[in-house]
């Protein structure tokens, strides 16, 4: 039952991140991805602090042990700042298609590291179901991004650099989840854990923004009301509810299975992209979706 709760939380995370992708895409087109990246953590921090106060009686979990703060803070730095930063740069260098394919490595990296770090093991059948799911996801991503904006004059050196950035983004997300699992030990609430992650990452990001003179520009861009509403929506579904659910997932389920189910976002975003961005549906994307969902169903049934 505990594992099932984690799997449902992982699927819910993927759904939240699908909505987040749409909101942040719409907001980023108006004010830029850097502004979105900074503001999302600030908004999420407000929501998390208020919710933590309602549930646990404090705005910041200062009662948490220093070691827990270290692991969760490290998780926030690795995931929100380093991992996301490398992924965003990979989008610029090699385009979204190859970048998202490389992000499919997250469950693979998570499973390998969780085996050596936590001793988590998966059966041959579970590994096969993971492989089916990831194959379907890769198929869908490839189909959806065949005509995506990819730099035409990309040199071999830039290609290697972009691939390194994409792998770094995947590793950042995987290691961020693993560090979070370490910080969650002992029954610590996932909401408070997420608050610590966002707090540490947000403070460091805004310290850099103020010290580099970019904070005023970021704040000025919030005059765009539509963009602010889009970022607000993305912040609710992303670093607030989405990441909260992702910590519930890894707290109850094994890392490899949870991260595979969370990787279903490209599948779940298909109807949203069709409705909002008028993305065309291809036969390959439909078959890829069937393969990915079949693998996910097998994972849950196991």
- Entry pTM: 0.86
Write down the pLDDT at residue 6.
92
Sign of the alpha-carbon dihedral angle for 201, 18, 243, 98: negative
Rounded to whole angstroms, how far apart are CA atoms 70 and 256?
23
Write the DSSP assignment of 219-233 as a string of letters: HHGGG-HHHHHHHHH
Write down the pLDDT at residue 215.
92
Sign of the alpha-carbon dihedral angle for 219, 220, 221, 226: positive
Write down the pLDDT at residue 146.
54
102-114 CB burial, b ≥16 within 10 A, e <16: bbbbbbbbbbebb
Domain borders along the chain are: 2-301
Rounded to whole angstroms, how far apart are CA atoms 158 and 152?
11
Report whether 10 contacts 258 (CB < 8 A): yes
Give the 3-state secondary structure of residue 172.
Answer: helix
First to last CA, the chain: 12
Write down the pLDDT at residue 285.
75
The pLDDT tens digits along the chain (302 residues) read 788 899 999 999 999 988 988 888 888 888 887 888 899 999 999 999 999 999 999 999 989 999 999 999 999 999 999 998 888 788 777 766 677 778 888 898 998 889 888 888 888 888 898 899 888 888 877 775 554 545 556 677 888 888 899 899 999 999 999 999 999 988 899 999 999 999 999 999 999 999 999 999 999 998 999 999 999 999 999 999 999 999 999 999 988 899 999 988 888 887 887 787 676 777 877 788 888 888 888 877 76
190 burial type by CB count under 10 A (0-12 exposed, 13-18 middle, 19+ buried): buried
Q: Where are the alpha helices (DSSP H) in 57-150?
A: 66-76, 84-103, 106-117, 124-144
Q: Backbone phi, then psi, for 145, in 5-degree steps?
A: -115, 20
The answer for residues whose C-beta is within 8 angstroms of residue 268's C-beta and 6 or more apart is 14, 15, 18
Write down the pLDDT at residue 208.
92
Q: How many CB atoms lie within 10 A of CB 226?
A: 11
Write down the pLDDT at residue 279.
67
Write down the pLDDT at residue 151.
55
């Amino acid at each position: 039952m505990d594992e099932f709760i984690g799997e449902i939380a992982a699927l819910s995370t993927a759904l939240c991140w699908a909505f987040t992708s749409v909101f942040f895409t719409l907001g980023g087109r108006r004010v830029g991805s850097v502004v979105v990246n900074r503001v999302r953590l600030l908004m999420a921090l407000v929501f998390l602090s208020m919710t933590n106060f309602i549930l646990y009686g404090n705005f910041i979990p200062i009662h948490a042990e220093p070691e827990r703060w270290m692991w969760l803070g490290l998780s926030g730095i690795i995931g929100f700042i380093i991992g996301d930063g490398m992924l965003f740069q990979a989008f610029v260098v090699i385009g979204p298609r190859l970048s998202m394919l490389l992000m499919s490595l997250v469950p693979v990296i998570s499973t390998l590291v969780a085996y050596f770090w936590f001793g988590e093991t998966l059966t041959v059948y579970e590994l096969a179901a993971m492989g089916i799911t990831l194959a379907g996801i890769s198929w869908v991503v490839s189909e959806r991004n065949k005509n995506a904006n990819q730099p035409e004059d990309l040199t071999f050196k830039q290609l290697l650099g972009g691939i390194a950035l994409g792998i770094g983004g995947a590793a950042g997300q995987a290691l961020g989840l693993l560090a979070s699992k370490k910080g969650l030990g002992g029954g610590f609430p996932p909401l408070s854990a997420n608050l610590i992650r966002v707090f540490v990452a947000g403070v460091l990001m805004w310290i850099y923004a103020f010290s580099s003179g970019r904070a005023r520009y970021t704040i000025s861009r919030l005059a765009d009301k539509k963009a602010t509403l889009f970022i607000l929506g993305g912040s609710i579904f992303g670093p607030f509810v989405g990441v909260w659910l992702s910590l519930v997932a890894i707290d109850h389920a094994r890392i490899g299975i949870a991260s595979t189910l969370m990787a279903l976002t490209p599948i779940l975003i298909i109807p949203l992209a069709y409705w909002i961005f008028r993305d065309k549906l291809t036969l390959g994307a439909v078959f890829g979706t069937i393969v990915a969902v079949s693998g996910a169903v097998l994972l849950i049934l196991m």
